[in-house]
Amino acid sequence: SMQEVHQYGRSLLAQKKSKEAFNVFKMNYDKFPNVFTTNTGMARAYSGIGDYKKALEYAQKALPQAPESQNKANLERMIKLLQDGKDIN
């Protein structure tokens, strides 16, 4: 499922396998474009490879799609980190 693939990508990031994680998040995004989970995944993917500007674009796309206040607060924190040039993973 979209969520399982997203979690797999996150596990790759945790293992410091940023390029592999990027490919997983991109595949998920291509299959399920422009929804909260995959926009957040692409933000994590780009952050993982050090492209904070591109990561910020996806985080900002995901913000209005946040399904609940906790997700929104987490994304707002991620956006602030990216604006400061810091990794969100």
* pLDDT tens per residue across span 27-77: 999 999 999 999 999 999 999 999 999 999 999 999 999 999 999 999 999
* pLDDT tens per residue across span 69-83: 999 999 999 999 999
Q: Give pLDDT, residue 24.
A: 98
Which residue shows structure tokens 């997700």? 71
Count Cα atoms within 13 angstroms, Cβ side, for 43.
Answer: 29
The amino acid occupying position 44 is: R
* pTM, rounded to two decimals: 0.95
Q: What six digits make up the tokens of 48?
A: 């993982």
